[in-house]
Chain A
Amino acid sequence: MDFIGAYSWPNLRYLLQGFWITVQVAGLSILFSFIIGTVLGTVRYTRVAFVSRTVAILVDAIRNLPLLLIIFFIGMILPQAGIRIPTFWAAVVGLSIFEGAMISEIVRSGLVSVDKGQIEAARASGLSYMQTLRHVILPLALRRMSPPMVSQFISLIKDTSLAIIISLPELMRNVKILSGSSFSYVIPALVFASLLYFTLNYSLSLVAKRLEARQI
């Protein structure tokens, strides 16, 4: 092990550059998966005859597949069918679809957990179904689902490392290239990367805990 050599500034900068890609991919994917998840979750909750059923099947299929396979498929295999996406965006699309499916389940169970009485009261006071959904059910549910949502975003941040399979120069891929340059850099590089992931995710999990505490 050679912590001093491994932690020379050019090496650290290289790892930080990887981390910056990780953060960018994660940020965009969090945004998109939140949108996808909210839409799909609501559609599934509202039980629109054919659509909700199709969404349910789709979501279940995606949730039950390895994300590694999804990312590789989108980045390397889908282009054979004429769909070309640059590496960075292939990672974002793969993550957004997969985590979006995960989040849709959180949204759905959040919606389901809203008290029936409140819905009936809103309807009785003259609100349409869509109005009730928008102004009563969704706001109530959103507050309840924020802790599991944040946990899912933490998973998402960790999952960005799977983009190594399509050679995206994110943190773990740079850890590997650095490890290749000297065997004594392996553990120092892994330690540094762990600390970066941990710091980001742990701060997020503290936010989640605060959200949880506020509800009770």
Chain B
Amino acid sequence: MNRKLSRTFRWSAAVLSLIIMLIAAGCGSSGEVDTLEAIKKRGKLVAGVKYDTKLFGLQDPATGQVEGFDIDMAKALAKKILGDETKLELKEVTSKTRIDMLRNGDIDIIIATMTITEERKEQVDFSDVYFEAGQSLLVKKGSPITGLESLNKDTKVLTVKGSTSAQNIREKAPDAEILEFENYQDAFTALRAGQGDALTTDNSILLGMQKQDPNYELVGGNFTDEPYGMAIKKGNPEFVKTVNELLKEMKESGEYDRLYEQWMGIKPE
């Protein structure tokens, strides 16, 4: 029985690895295709955006439409490349899945509250900064937590898998217990459900949550800089240039300021 058991296990493991290896070897990498060319050929831009983040990318159950600052940036980009802002397909990404999806070729570009970091630059290329955020804390009104210094080993801080916030909070509050959720909506639901003491991520996202439920407030100010960039698969200098041109044009024409004010309710600094 014992020998048979271990034999079966060894076999299963071997076969499983073999299959994956065959698949990996058989197909190889999908080859280097110029993303910008691919978009033009296809006649459609595929952008990876959030579906659960108020102000940036949020799906409205009533209409099924996704709306937010990131979505409007994607529309502007579709218009720049293809001359028509409706030639755009949105795909839902989470902080957890977005880099894999970009590298897999499921999406042409990530426009999803993504902070530019040195680590990520090894995986993807970034456009210029298109939004300046900073990490902060969201707590229930009247909470004893007033800022980073109140976080200790008895506090549970909620955040999201694959976000810079998860990494930063580990460094800034090493004693606090940290729980990482699939997406911001889950993390906020968990906070409202009392499963943690504070939620940490970019102030811009937290502001959206505060708008959803005014029983919650931001405390302690920003403790990091989170410059957002649009991420593009490595090896597409033309595409990065196009995006940067667009950002420049939008800032010059006042379109950027208009969108910013429309979503954030304040003028950009």
Contact = CB atoms under 8 A, between A and B. Distances in A.
Classify A-B as touching or not with yes or no (CB < 8 A): yes
Contacts of A76: 97, 100-101, 104
Contact of A183 (B12, B19, B213): B213
Interface stretch (A34-42, A52-60, A139-147, A196-204): A52-60
B105 A84 contact: yes
B100 A77 contact: yes
A180 B24 contact: no
Interface string A153-182: 000000000000111010000101111110
Given A54-B15, A176-B185, A177-B51, A82 B61 contact: no
B106 A14 contact: no
Contacts of A78: 23
A82 B185 contact: no
A87 B213 CA distance: 32
Nearest to B25: A81
Interface of B: 8, 11-13, 15-16, 19-20, 23-24, 27-30, 51-52, 59, 61-64, 91-94, 97, 100-101, 103-106, 182, 185-186, 188-189, 192, 212-213
16 contacts: A57-B11, A57-B15, A58-B19, A60-B8, A61-B16, A64-B12, A76-B101, A79-B103, A79-B105, A79-B106, A82-B30, A87-B91, A174-B61, A176-B185, A177-B52, A180-B52
B13 to A, nearest CB: 8
A84 B188 contact: no
Closest 10 interchain pairs by CB?
A79-B104, A10-B62, A82-B27, A180-B185, A14-B61, A81-B24, A61-B12, A167-B92, A57-B11, A57-B15
Nearest to B51: A177
Contacts of A179: 189
A80 interface: yes
A83 interface: yes
A174 B15 CA distance: 37
The contact size tier of chain A is: 20 to 34
B61 A10 contact: yes
A165 B8 CA distance: 30
Contacts of B93: 167
A11 interface: yes
B16 to A, nearest CB: 5
Contact of B20 (A57, A64, A81): A81
A186 B192 CA distance: 12
Contact of B24 (A17, A57, A82): A82
Given A179-B189, A183-B213, A167 B97 contact: yes
Given A79-B100, A82-B28, A177-B52, A14 B62 contact: yes
A112 to B, nearest CB: 19
Nearest to A72: B97
Contacts of A81: 20, 23-24, 27
A183 B64 CA distance: 19
A62 B8 CA distance: 13
A161 B212 CA distance: 27
Interface string A111-146: 000000000000000000000000000000000000
Contact of B64 (A14, A58, A165): A14
A11 B61 CA distance: 6
B63 A61 contact: no
A43 to B, nearest CB: 15
A57 B63 contact: no
Contacts of B51: 167, 177
Contacts of B8: 57, 60
